[in-house]
Chain A
Amino acid sequence: MTGEKGLKFTKEHEWLRIEGNRVTVGITDFAQKKLGDIVYVELPELDEEFVEGDAFAVLESVKTAADVYAPVDGIVVEVNDLLEEEPALINTDPFGEGWIAVFEAEGDIDTSGLMDTAAYRQYAEEEE
């Protein structure tokens, strides 16, 4: 499983990899465990535009469905098509092959509301 070094985290249990104005989004190991076996991922379309906080993808397990929220105002520039055939990648490698999409941010990225690895670990533990 790919590690979580250098990532930022949201309160909705998403991880972000921020490289310039590009933001890769996935869900954390904690989140995938909570959801259970992912059976289907509803992915966004390329070039689709989102406002920060919009649901841009849906992860479905047998008995739940969870929205994934856009981390920034921006457009989708890459989508992990592999998830269409293999949604289980989110379970087996949430920080690596289980990435969901890459956004190109419209403006500067505000990281002030995000957590680093240590802060997120504590946050997830409290939620447990």
Chain B
Amino acid sequence: MKPLLPLIFERSVAGRTGYSLPPAEFPLEGIEQLLPQDQVRQKLPLLPEVSEGDVIRHYINLSLLNHNIDRGFYPLGSCTMKYNPKVNEDVSRLPGFARLHPLVPEENAQGALELIYRLEQYLAEISGMDAVSLQSVAGAHGEFTGLKIILAYHKARGDFRRQTILVPDSAHGTNPASAAMVGMKVVQVASDANGCVSLEDLRAKTDDTVAALMLTNPNTLGLFDVNIGAIADIVHAAGGLLYYDGANANAILGKVRPGDTGFDVVHLNLHKTFSTPHGGGGPGSGPVGVKSQLAPYLPVPRVVQGGEGYSLDYDYPQSIGKIHSFYGNFAVNIRAYAYIRMLGAEGLKAVSEDAVLNANYIQARLKDAYHLEYDRLCMHEFVLSAKRQLAKGVKTLDIAKRLLDFGLHPPTVYFPLIIEEAMMIEPTETEGMETLDYFIEAMLQIAREAEENPEIVLGAPHTTPISRLDEVGAARNPVLKWQP
């Protein structure tokens, strides 16, 4: 096989080194004698032998093969690929943060604890909750934590029957997977003709075994479920709780607070709504907020403020316990803190307004060229379908690949599952009208191509470093590592 770029192992030259270590000061010869003799490593791992310059060149060349938000538009629905402010990167790397060990005496970490304490308060205010924990490091981790809290709450009331988590059929896959991870049974609730939760189906499925309903609002179709009040009443009347999946919170900052609309628990994705970068898949941060009656169950430790400053408090006997080695993704939380401080209340509100404005603009201009299942105002994202193009043999996947030829990242595709040939488009507020127009023109051109010259769409991408890859072969005969 012709390599696009050599693997770093293939750049290796025996004897070459890329490290600079402090002086040993002690003889290292025979140091193995201090170890159990049957555990001394006999054969060193075959790591690459390369110079620092080799390493930098290798990774810079790799990096050039990536699309990224700093290079161009990235309208991945439900992922909120907004611009990541540079100053946040700088301040997260201040030595006072970056070199701070998590187990230093608390009086030596007052700045870090203060930041955690304040950010928890800000997020509580934004989400309309009473208490927040920053410990969960990803959205799914937040879901897990939130569901554990809900179960602990039910159990503490002597209610052990609650074995069911309701999720809408449009939900993210993490919702049912998280429910399974806390040992719960998942029951799916159907959507109604408006793309929202079917109240009828919800009533039919809600009984005294329901622990909670997990809901994204706006949902994955980008639609705000205006029945949320009724939904909350149905679930609460049966003794269940309402869980808010914050994946789509970028639509509602300063506009709607989940806590004011009946939700008992939320998680927020700081790597979506609060501008922390995605890092090619992580690290993120998925703080959990709760109403006061659930606060005793939050994970430990909690950061508290007392006469002598801030401290870590483990004394919550009803807590679900620990969920992370230390206190969550602190350096990610620094970035979100900085973002909120720079935007303030007005700025955050403007963020959601522009996010919704931009999404509606694209929707309005593309709905004649592509099928739009739910033709109404959307929030920060919306879902088109390639149903119409399918008649010419052009699938959503082909449209996605064709977009790459325009230097654009495709939308989220084939999700939500309830829309055939789905394309979920979320522009975010950090794109200006010219960028949106460029995307719109590209989508319109592809729609024309699908009519007149489908071959060019079917064969896409034409301009990327590599063309479509054999995913079937990759899964049938997995090659998951380099071998010498």
Contacts and interface: CB of A to CB of B under 8 A. Distances in A.
A61 B471 CA distance: 10
B470 to A, nearest CB: 10
B188 to A, nearest CB: 16
B28 interface: no
A58 to B, nearest CB: 13
- Most B Cβ at <10 Å: residue of A39, A40, A88: A39
Interface residues of B, number: 5
A116 interface: no
A6 B471 CA distance: 36
Nearest to A63: B414
Contacts, number: 15
A62 B471 CA distance: 7
A60 interface: yes
B472 interface: yes
A88 to B, nearest CB: 7
B43 interface: no
B185 to A, nearest CB: 16
Contacts of A40: 475-476
A4 interface: no
Interface in B394-421: 414
A62 B470 CA distance: 10
A63 B476 CA distance: 13
Contacts of B414: 63
A94 interface: no
A74 interface: no
A87 interface: yes
Contacts of B475: 39-40, 60, 62
Interface string B459-484: 00000000000011001100000000
A51 B347 CA distance: 59
A78 interface: no
Interface in B428-484: 471-472, 475-476
A74 B475 CA distance: 32
Nearest to A36: B472
Interface string A36-73: 01011000000000000000000011110000000000
A69 to B, nearest CB: 19
B478 to A, nearest CB: 9
Range for the number of chain A residues in contact with chain B: under 10
- Most B Cβ at <10 Å: residue of A62, A87, A88: A62
A62 B414 CA distance: 13
A60 B472 CA distance: 10
A53 to B, nearest CB: 17
Contacts of A62: 471-472, 475
Contacts of B471: 62
Nearest to B477: A39
B248 to A, nearest CB: 23
A128 to B, nearest CB: 13
A71 B476 CA distance: 27
A37 B471 CA distance: 10
Contacts of A60: 475
Contacts of A63: 414
A63 B414 CA distance: 10
Interface string B184-217: 0000000000000000000000000000000000
A41 to B, nearest CB: 11
A88 B414 CA distance: 24
Contacts of A87: 476
A50 to B, nearest CB: 20
Nearest to A88: B476
A37 B473 CA distance: 10
Nearest to B476: A39
A128 B475 CA distance: 27
A40 B476 CA distance: 6
Contacts of A88: 476
B65 to A, nearest CB: 22
Contacts of B476: 37, 39-40, 87-88
A87 B414 CA distance: 25
Interface string A2-29: 0000000000000000000000000000
A62 B478 CA distance: 12
A87 B476 CA distance: 8
B180 to A, nearest CB: 14
Interface in B60-86: none
A67 to B, nearest CB: 15
A109 B375 CA distance: 51
A87 B475 CA distance: 11
A63 B474 CA distance: 12
B379 to A, nearest CB: 27
A60 B414 CA distance: 17
Nearest to B414: A63
Nearest to B471: A62
A62 B476 CA distance: 9
A39 B414 CA distance: 20
Nearest to A87: B476
Given A37-B472, A39-B472, A40-B475, 12 more contacts: A37-B476, A39-B475, A39-B476, A40-B476, A60-B475, A61-B472, A62-B471, A62-B472, A62-B475, A63-B414, A87-B476, A88-B476
14 contacts: A37-B472, A37-B476, A39-B472, A39-B475, A39-B476, A40-B475, A40-B476, A60-B475, A61-B472, A62-B471, A62-B472, A62-B475, A63-B414, A88-B476
Interface of B: 414, 471-472, 475-476
8 nearest A-B pairs in the assembled complex, by CB-CB distance: A39-B475, A37-B472, A39-B476, A62-B471, A62-B475, A62-B472, A39-B472, A87-B476
